[in-house]
Chain A
C-alpha cells in the first residue's frame, strides 16, 4: 500500500512541477493545484497509513494519527485560498496585459 501511496505522491508532484514550468497562466494554475494535492498527501502520510481507524474516540480501537489530518485540513484550506487568488491574478493579468503569458507577454519561450 505504501508503494502505491508513494507512487501517487511522486506522480502528483512530478506532473505538478512540470506544469508549473509552463509559460501560460492556466497550466501553471493546474500545476500548483496538482502540486498542493501531492504535498497534502505527503503531509497526510507523515502520520503513517492505517485503514479503517477513524480518529474518533470510541469508533476505533487503535485510531490513526489525527494530527497530520488536522494539518492537511488547514493546508487544503490555505491551498484553496492561494489557488483562488492565483486564478484571479491570472484573470487580472489577462485584463491588464491582454495576454496570459506568465511574463505578461514578453516573448519568452512559451509552453
Chain B
C-alpha cells in the first residue's frame, strides 16, 4: 500500500460518512467507518516502520509527476514519529467520543486527514492547503451548545486565518526567490532566505503553536470546546505547528534560524514563565490546563532553539510526553462533573489517571515527562545556558503546585457515579502509556534519535 492511503482514507471515509448521514443512519456502520478511517492509516504507517527505522525514507509522488513539478509525500523518521503519536491518539480519542453525532465524526475524519497531510507533504503550498483543512475542521469542532463557544471559535477563526495569510505570504516570497516549492529541493539549493520571510513563517506557525504574544486564542478555544476536542487541540494541533517549525526551520531557513537563536530562546523562556504563572491564577480546570499547554509548548520551543541535537531529542520527548499526558488530563476532565477547581469531586478511577498524567507533565521521575525535562535541561547546560534550565525547572515547580492542588482535591472528594465504558478505556490507556514510555521507551528512543540526526543540529 502506498503512503497516500494515510491521507486519502480518512478523506474518503469522511465523505462516505456524510453521505450515509443523509441517506440512512445506522450507528454501527458509522462507528465502524470512523474507526476504520483511522485504523487503516495507522496500519499503513506501521508497515513503513522497518524502512524508516533503518534511516531510509519512503516517497510517493502524487500523480507520478517528478518532484520538480508536482507534490511529494514522504515519510522519514521525524514524520513517522509525529504521525505515529497523532494516529494513536486520534484512535483513542475517537473511541472516547463514539457516542457523539455523526457530523462530529465527519469533521473528525477530515481533521485527521488534514493533520496527516501536513505531516506527510513536502510541498510548501500543499502544506498551506492541508493546514487550512485541519484548521477549518477544528474551527467547527470547537463549537458546542454553550453560548461562549461561538465567540471562542470566532476568535480562533480570525487568528487562524491571519496565520494562514502570513504563511501564504511567506510561501510567495520563497517562490519568488527560489522558483520551487518542494522543501527538499529548496533546502538543497542552499539559498539564504530573507529575514522577513523567516519572520513571516515564525509568526504564522507561532500562532498555530502558541508562543507568547501569539497564543491568545488558546485559553478560550481549549477551555470552552468539548473535552475530546480540547484533548485534540491541546495534544495534537499545537504539535503540528511545532512539527512545521521543525521541518521548515531546519531545512529551508537553516541560516536564519541559527542566526536568531538567542532571540528565539528568549521568546521561549517568556512563554514558559507566562504559561506557568497564569495557570496558577485560574479557577477553571480546563483553562488552567490550556495555560499549562502554553507552558509546555514554551519548553519545547526553548528546547529546540538551543540548536543542538540533544535539544531536539529533548523537544521530541517532551512532545510525546505532553501529547499523551494532556490527552489523558483533558479526557479525565470530560468525566468530572463540575469544573470549578474548588468544587472538584470525582471517583478514584478518574483521579488516579489524572494524577499520573499530572506527574508526567510536572516531570517527576519514572514518567515520560521526566525524560523530556531531563534532556532539555541537559541541552541547556551543554550550551552554557544554565539560566534557561533554571527557568524550566522553576516552571515545573509552579506546575507541581497547581496540578497537585487539583489532584489533591480530586482524591479528597470522592463521588461515585457511572461513566460509560468507552470513555474509561482511553483514559486508562493514555495514563498507562505515560508510565510505560517513561520506564521502557525502547522503540521510541531509536526513532527520536534518528529524527534528531536527520534534522541535524549545529553548535
A, B co-complexed: no
